[in-house]
Amino acid sequence: MTERVIFHIDVNSAFLSWEAVYGMKERGDIVDLREAPSIIGGDEATRHGIVLAASMPAKRLGIRTAETIREALVKCPNLIIKPPMRPLYEKYSKAFVKEALEYSNVYEQFSIDEIFLDMTGKIELGKTPVETAYKLKDQIQNKLGFTVNIGISSNKLLAKMASDFEKPNRVHTLFLDEIREKMWPLKVGDLFSVGKSTGKKLEVLGIHTIGDLAQMDLKLLQSHIGKKHGRRIHQFANGIDDSKVESRGDINKGYGHSITLSRDISNENEAGVVLLSLVEKVAARLRRDQVKGDCVVVELRDKDFHRYTHQRKLDVPTDITDEIMKTARELFLECYKGTPVRLLGVRVTGISKEEYSQMGLFDNEKKEKLRKLDASLDRIRQRYGNDSIQRGSIFLQSGKEE
């Protein structure tokens, strides 16, 4: 088997860079936001909301992603605050993916500003992977005005770890024979898929670096972290990852569920119950696959098979039942014309892998509570079956999963 060549391309401070490039190109800004203390974050007027991205000068003043704007303003009273602009990000995201696709058509988009590119067999004759990565990196910068880091390895995990080394505008390799020197000295919490709570458990066990984890006894690790997750992070620490670069089609299809009702529904409350059962199923599948979506679509058909769909983008990707339900209910009320409903469907699209999602980095307390509730309901369903807490089951005739 020939060794694979995988690139992980990661836009440096994506939201901030994109806002800066847009500002200078389209709005005539004189200040480059990347060179001033600036952030992308929620509502400036009310001073609420959270820092989604911070410039290097802002970071130097101690401003961190996920802290509140109020806290950030204490550290820098004349901080420049720009609101998030999702459509803009999508435009620049598409633009850099397009450049990458000139190099390989086998790619996987993990988040709005990160993709994997399978470069196996695609390196130009006489060129090295590093030279090819430099060319792509410079091409993106010259054409689009923002910088990326590219990590190179023989698998996705190591490529992803490599792109996270020194930033910005850099190319790094992390091949298997380099992990001892380049990855093992890093803090265990820096390993992809070691979250905060796992990190804490490992610290208590005296596991401080990725190298410590790699050399830990697997059985002992599993007894503390769980069998599946224990094995996964043990393999990762040893640089092992066989997962394929999956094409974008798989991830963008979305998660949907629809139901043909055994009798027509013509009241909002009944429809709400059915809608909730659909949302619960869709959200549970998102969580099972550890992905989130940022667009909710509601479809309904009346007894004459007229079809109505409405959709809405969310500010932040989610897998939380309550959040999806809130939007789904609003969308339903927008489509609902008062005629008896025969079919209802809910779909979540704009899927990104949870761990890679930049906007998913922050969580507030309310979200944490909702997440715990979802997790406990998921456990009950796993144990007692899907319909054990299916509130809308009396209406259901046939469900369709996509």
Least distance CB 357 / Mg ion (angstroms): 11
Least distance CB 10 / Mg ion (angstroms): 4
- Nearest CA among 48, 91, 45, 106 for reference residue 72: 48
Least distance CB 153 / Mg ion (angstroms): 18
140 binds Mg ion (CB under 5 A): no
Using alpha carbons only, give the angle 273, 319, 47 rounded to the nearest 5 degrees: 105
Least distance CB 208 / Mg ion (angstroms): 26
Determine contact, residues 117/248, Cβ cutoff 8 Å.
Answer: no
Phi, psi of 363 (to 5 degrees): -140, 135
Catalytic residue among 114, 280, 299, 323: 114
Determine contact, residues 380/389, Cβ cutoff 8 Å.
Answer: yes
Q: Using the structure block, give the residue that is written with the tokens 């009346």.
A: 302
Which part of the chain contacts Mg ion (CB under 5 A), choosing from 6-14, 58-66, 86-94, 122-130? 6-14
Which part of the chain contacts Mg ion (CB under 5 A), choosing from 8-16, 77-85, 158-166, 264-272? 8-16
Burial class of residue 95, CB neighbours in 10 A (0-12, 13-18, 19+): middle
State how far the Cα of 321 lies from the Cα of 340, in Å rounded to an integer. Answer: 26
Which part of the chain contacts Mg ion (CB under 5 A), choosing from 13-21, 26-34, 159-167, 190-198? 13-21
Encoded one letter per residue, x for contact with Mg ion by CB under 5 A and - for no contact, window 239-268 reads ------------------------------
Q: Which is nearer to Mg ion, 12 or 327 (CB)?
A: 12
State how far the Cα of 106 lies from the Cα of 121, in Å rounded to an integer. Answer: 11
Least distance CB 106 / Mg ion (angstroms): 21
Q: Which is nearer to Mg ion, 10 or 294 (CB)?
A: 10
Q: Which is nearer to Mg ion, 149 or 209 (CB)?
A: 149
Least distance CB 146 / Mg ion (angstroms): 10
Contact with Mg ion (CB under 5 A) among 8, 10, 40, 63: 10
Which part of the chain contacts Mg ion (CB under 5 A), choosing from 4-12, 164-172, 342-350, 374-382? 4-12
Q: Which residues contact 238 (CB under 8 A, 6 or more apart)?
A: 179, 214
Q: Which is nearer to Mg ion, 346 or 359 (CB)?
A: 359
Q: Using the structure block, give the residue that is written with the tokens 């990104």.
A: 352
State how far the Cα of 210 lies from the Cα of 201, in Å rounded to an integer. Answer: 14
State how far the Cα of 208 lies from the Cα of 245, in Å rounded to an integer. Answer: 30
Look at residue 349 and give its three-state secondary structure.
Answer: strand
Kindly identify the residues of this chain, within the stretch 112-131, that bind Mg ion according to CB under 5 A.
113
Determine contact, residues 319/304, Cβ cutoff 8 Å.
Answer: no
Q: What is the DSSP string of 84-120?
A: --HHHHHHHHHHHHHHHHTT-S-EEEEETTEEEEE-T
Least distance CB 94 / Mg ion (angstroms): 16
Encoded one letter per residue, x for contact with Mg ion by CB under 5 A and - for no contact, window 70-109 reads ----------------------------------------
114 as an active site residue: the answer is yes
State how far the Cα of 396 lies from the Cα of 155, in Å rounded to an integer. Answer: 44
Helical packing angle, 365-384 and 321-335, nearest 10°? 90
Residue 91, CB-side half-sphere exposure with 13 Å CA sphere: 10
Contact with Mg ion (CB under 5 A) among 5, 6, 9, 14: 14
Q: Read off the DSSP letter of residue 62.
A: T
19 binds Mg ion (CB under 5 A): no
Count of positions on this chain that bind Mg ion (CB under 5 A) = 4
Q: Which is nearer to Mg ion, 104 or 163 (CB)?
A: 163
Q: Which is nearer to Mg ion, 174 or 300 (CB)?
A: 174
Which part of the chain contacts Mg ion (CB under 5 A), choosing from 7-15, 66-74, 138-146, 217-225? 7-15
Active site members: 114
Residues that bind Mg ion (CB under 5 A): 10-11, 14, 113
